[in-house]
């Protein structure tokens, strides 16, 4: 299947919505997530590849360039390759407010020295996740296990055969282009060892001391590098929700890898067993929550080790609870019941694969809604984040 032929209406709609809120939209996402193809599918746009000498040359005089544009929208692909991308975007927003600009590139842009202006009030940010569950039919994927094994980067998902070389080459490119070039990290082998450990332990509690021990790096170095992983969206830190005091676990966050394909790759899996699918499914549900996007996302665990996979606070009196289950028959209500003893108000979801219609059950005097990622309805306001 040709990647260019695949349309992604969910993300196109979010770009259009962001443009209604601000003149500049920043499309972030990891390498090979499909940013360029998505941007190229927009209609009525002038497309500039800033990574090519010709594209960069056209932008040397920003005012002259913007005056020459005949289309109402402009795509500046790989804009972080320019010497001063924030100045270019600021000129577009301030001097040509009727233009709508989509800037794509490394998710690290806001953390680099090149980005000298935060463009406060002028931009909205969209973070492109790996391919979501609701997008799988467009990619010709009918097996959820195949999505978990290969991950959600379009080239890996669309390849004729599973290939470990793709993941190894991606990691090499990620270090060279996103880590070494932008953050000046020199210890390639040690850094990639940390990445491997994070991927292997995805979904577990963050143990700085353990990561330092197994990589040979110092604790401050590990903490700095974890910041790099988060800024580049290769890892997601989910902090515990703890408004109820000492009965709850207060300190350790969880750390998730960005993609199930890389989890499988680092664990040496070329096929999945039934027990593998549950933790990987939790990662895939996390992608849905990050894509919505929810304004706050946590997990919950008490000192008795009762746990809720994800909780989404909406207000002081409402917190939604979300459990991820590969097989809904294995769901046990004790975790949500313990959570509701502290936080009685909110909806309770169990998110499962392959459900075409949501349904509810009463369990321990609680209403539990069984649903799937495309049907998950959190009543979240349609607001695109304004900053990175």
What are the extents of the domains in the chain? 3-127, 134-233+259-271
Structure tokens at 211: 């990561």
Q: Note the CATH number of domain 3-127.
A: 3.40.50.300
Q: CA-to-CA distance for 307 and 339, rounded, in angstroms?
A: 8
Q: How much is the pLDDT for 246?
A: 54
Q: CA-to-CA distance for 282 and 323, rounded, in angstroms?
A: 8
Rounded to 10 deg, the angle between the 260-267 and 274-291 helix axes is 150
Q: How much is the pLDDT for 109?
A: 54
Please, what are the averages of pLDDT over each run of 10 residues along the chain (388 residues)? 70 96 94 94 94 94 95 94 89 95 76 65 91 96 96 95 93 92 89 98 96 97 95 94 63 94 96 95 97 91 92 90 97 97 95 95 96 85 44
DSSP 245: G
Peptide bond into 293 cis (omega under 30): yes
The answer to whether the CB of 93 falls within 8 A of the CB of 119 is: yes
Cα 9 to Cα 12, 16, 17, 41, 101, distances in angstroms: 5, 10, 12, 10, 19
Q: What is the pLDDT of residues 300-345, one digit of tens each?
A: 998 888 999 999 998 888 999 999 999 999 999 999 999 999 999 9
Q: How much is the pLDDT for 317?
A: 84
Residues 6+ apart with CB under 8 A from 36: 77, 78, 104
Q: How much is the pLDDT for 117?
A: 64
Q: Name residue, tokens 């979240």.
A: 380
Q: How much is the pLDDT for 86?
A: 87
Q: How much is the pLDDT for 1?
A: 40
Q: How much is the pLDDT for 381?
A: 41
Q: CA-to-CA distance for 147 and 131, rounded, in angstroms?
A: 9
Q: How much is the pLDDT for 115?
A: 66
């Amino acid at each position: 299947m040709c990647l260019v032929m695949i349309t992604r209406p969910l993300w196109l709609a979010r770009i259009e919505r962001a443009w209604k809120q601000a003149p500049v939209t920043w499309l972030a996402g990891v390498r090979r997530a499909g940013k360029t193809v998505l941007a190229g599918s927009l209609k009525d746009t002038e497309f500039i590849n800033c990574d090519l000498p010709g594209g960069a040359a056209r932008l040397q005089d920003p005012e002259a360039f913007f005056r020459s544009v005949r289309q109402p929208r402009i795509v500046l692909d790989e804009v972080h390759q320019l010497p001063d991308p924030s100045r270019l975007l600021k000129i577009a927003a301030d001097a040509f407010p009727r233009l709508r600009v989509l800037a794509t590139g490394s998710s690290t842009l806001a953390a680099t020295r090149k980005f000298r202006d935060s463009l406060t009030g002028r931009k909205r940010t969209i973070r492109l996740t790996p391919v979501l569950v609701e997008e799988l039919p467009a990619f010709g994927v009918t097996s959820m296990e195949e999505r978990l094994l290969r991950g959600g980067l379009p080239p890996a998902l669309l390849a004729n055969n599973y290939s470990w070389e793709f993941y190894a080459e991606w990691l090499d490119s990620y270090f060279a282009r996103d880590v070494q070039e932008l953050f000046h990290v020199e210890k390639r082998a040690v850094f990639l060892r940390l990445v491997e450990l994070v991927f292997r332990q995805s979904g577990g509690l963050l143990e700085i001391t353990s990561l330092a021990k197994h990589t040979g790096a110092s604790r401050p170095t590990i903490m700095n590098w974890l910041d790099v992983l988060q800024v580049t969206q290769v890892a997601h830190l989910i902090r515990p929700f703890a408004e109820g005091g000492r009965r709850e676990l207060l300190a350790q966050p969880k750390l998730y890898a960005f993609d199930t394909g890389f989890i499988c790759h680092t664990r040496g899996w070329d096929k999945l067993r039934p027990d593998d699918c549950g933790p990987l499914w939790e990662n895939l549900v996390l992608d849905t929550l990050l894509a919505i996007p929810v304004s706050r996302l946590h997990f919950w665990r008490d000192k008795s080790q009762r746990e809720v996979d994800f909780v989404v606070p909406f207000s002081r009196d409402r917190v939604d609870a979300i459990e991820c289950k590969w097989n809904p028959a294995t769901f046990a209500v004790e975790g949500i019941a313990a959570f509701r003893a502290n936080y009685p108000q909110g909806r309770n979801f169990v998110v499962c694969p392959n459900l075409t219609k949501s349904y509810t059950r009463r369990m321990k005097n609680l209403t539990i809604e069984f649903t799937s990622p495309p049907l998950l309805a959190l009543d979240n306001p349609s607001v695109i984040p304004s900053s990175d």
